[in-house]
Chains A and B, each alone.
Chain A
Amino acid sequence: MSEKILEIRHLQKSFGSNLVLKDIDFTVSKGDVTAIIGASGSGKSTLLRCINLLETPSGGEILYHGKNILASGTNQPEYRSHVGMVFQSFNLFNNMTVLENCMIGQVKVLKKKKDEAEKNALKYLERVGMAPYVNARPRQISGGQKQRVAIARALSMEPEVLLFDEPTSALDPEMVGEVLDVMQALARDGMTMLVVTHEMGFARDVSSRVVFMSQGVIREEGTPEEVLGDPQEQETIDFLARFRNT
């Protein structure tokens, strides 16, 4: 078993009286590519947002290298700089060019020198095939290109884990492929990834582990062959059947 990066214990999250996450337990180890699947409203995105502290969990613990980051006195921005996030709606900074998007965090958060940050940013932009577009602004490029830049922005912070919150859901069908290709290449290079997705093909072919969530709990968890190929729970079977039909 390789090194554990994140351990989530008894995580709970409620919005008002609505309990969205009930007692979530799971572990992310180095090199894992975990696909989180489940119906809309099952709490997948909330789980991801809790892990990055964009939502404050109502209970439980999140251990990052054994340290509980929900304890008071944790430097949250510092923690977030180690845990990258890619959003469904890209969230590129509209007032900056592609290159500046990938440099700002390095310069302001990691306190790198400008030329060093630029070199690093170009490396990752090249990796996602967006290097020719360094001077473009977010409003000038397509959705798939924006998402690839967003991935490069997250990578340029050199995070230990990358969280993907439905990265292809806001894209036109013909652009989904280019983003999934980039993610697949990242997985091959050993990046630790946690991916909330509706792309069953990605879950089957790329991920090393699949988590099925329903109504705020983890129903089933295992290798893609186990969960997708031979599901044990009736709910998982129903959910997967709906996907085969469409």
Chain B
Amino acid sequence: MGIFRQLISDIAKLLSKYGSAYLHGIGNTLILALSATLIGCLIGFICGILQTIPYQKNDPVLKRFFLKLVRVIIRIYVEVFRGTPMVLQAVFIYYGLPYFTNSAIRFTNVWVSALLVVSINTGAYMAESVRGGIISIDPGQTEGAMAIGMTHFQTMLHVILPQALRNIMPQIGNNYIINVKDTSVMFIISFTEFFAVHRAAVGATYLYFPSATIEMVGYLCMTLLASFLLRWLEKKMDGKSSYELINEDQLVMTAGTYSYPDRKTPFDERPSELPAEGGRR
């Protein structure tokens, strides 16, 4: 028991001295992870749309060539940034660019470089997720949209992507949580996020495990909060599980208003008061 009492008093000591630094680190980590995930999603969506533009044998040669070129470029981007460690990407972008270009190109702001590295990295993962999300949507949805005269772009924007987005929400959540933790490698370019605070605090006080415990709890709190918010967002995106009939005849109204438990996948949790098959009709 003595060791735990010691740990708690050390943690208290650390927090009283560096509490605001830890908080500042958490703030930086959250801002970086959130904005990089959002930008990464945007990159992913753009790549996903570009990759899935259909072309046919009888399209003009130039169009076919261009679309193929776009696919190849995206492929290379995905493979390179997914296949190398983010810490090295950061080194190459922050220190490597000035080194190779004789200081012609350099990022002086660590925020900009960190955001750039994490966003590009997330984008590479998201490009594949979005592509998967798009091909998971029933081709009938595309045909339905085309049959009423929508263009490829309109079909994507109004019909396919909203559904694909819902399907890849868990993946976006994954990426965000990975980013919360993996932004810790940005210490290499002296970005002061949560983990960098730990290194500084330990360097000054030699209280390694007390600080590491703070870090563990801190990261877990951040990711749990994210999981909770994502679940809530997914529920919100599914819309209401029941609907109201619009009818002048009030008698018909009650007869037809069913409450359906959410028809998502059969693997989703259901409200416990309903039997498993309760809502199927």
Contact = CB atoms under 8 A, between A and B. Distances in A.
A135 B146 contact: no
A94 B141 contact: yes
B158 interface: yes
Interface stretch (A27-35, A73-81, A204-212): A73-81
Nearest to A56: B56
B143 A132 contact: no
Contact of B163 (A78, A94, A154): A94
B147 A139 contact: no
Interface in A115-153: 131-137, 139-140, 142, 150, 153
Interface of A (DSSP majority class): loop
B246 A134 contact: yes
Interface stretch (A104-112, A181-189, A238-246): A104-112
B62 to A, nearest CB: 14
B252 A132 contact: yes
Nearest to B56: A56
A77 B149 contact: yes
Interface stretch (A17-25, A83-91, A190-198, A225-233): A83-91
Nearest to B253: A132
Among A82, A84, A104, the one with the most B-chain Cβ atoms within 10 Å of its Cβ is: A104
A153 B141 CA distance: 13
Among B148, B162, B245, B246, the one with the most A-chain Cβ atoms within 10 Å of its Cβ is: B148
Nearest to A150: B144
A110 B143 CA distance: 18
A95 interface: yes
A80 B146 contact: yes
B247 A132 contact: yes
Contact of A81 (B148, B246, B247): B148
A238 B252 CA distance: 48
B163 A54 contact: no
Contact of B245 (A132, A142, A150, A157): A132
A132 B149 contact: no
Contacts of B151: 77
Contacts of A134: 246
Given A56-B58, A87-B143, A95-B166, A153 B148 contact: yes
How big is chain B's contact interface, by range?
A: 20 to 34
A52 interface: yes
Interface string B134-146: 0000101101111
A64 interface: no
Contacts, number: 95
Nearest to A92: B144
B67 to A, nearest CB: 17
Given A93-B144, A133-B243, A105 B159 contact: no
Given A56-B58, A104-B158, A85 B245 contact: no
B190 interface: no
A91 B56 contact: no
Given A78-B149, A87-B144, A95-B166, A132 B256 contact: yes
A186 B170 CA distance: 45
Contacts of A56: 56, 58
Contacts of A157: 148-149
Nearest to B249: A132
Interface string B6-48: 0000000000000000000000000000000000000000000
Interface in B248-268: 252, 256, 258, 260, 263
Contacts of A154: 147-148
A135 B281 CA distance: 18
Contact of A135 (B140, B147, B243, B260): B243
B149 A95 contact: no
A95 B149 CA distance: 18
Nearest to B137: A94
Interface string A31-65: 00000000000000000000010101000000000
Contact of B141 (A81, A91, A105, A133): A91
Given A85-B147, A87-B143, A108 B243 contact: no
Given A95-B163, A137-B243, A54 B154 contact: no
A135 B242 CA distance: 9
B230 interface: no
A135 B239 CA distance: 11
B265 to A, nearest CB: 12
A136 B243 contact: yes
14 contacts: A77-B151, A80-B149, A85-B143, A87-B140, A91-B147, A95-B159, A104-B148, A108-B154, A108-B158, A109-B148, A134-B246, A135-B245, A136-B243, A140-B263
Interface pairs A-B: 8 shortest CB-CB: A81-B149, A91-B144, A105-B148, A85-B147, A91-B140, A109-B149, A136-B243, A132-B245
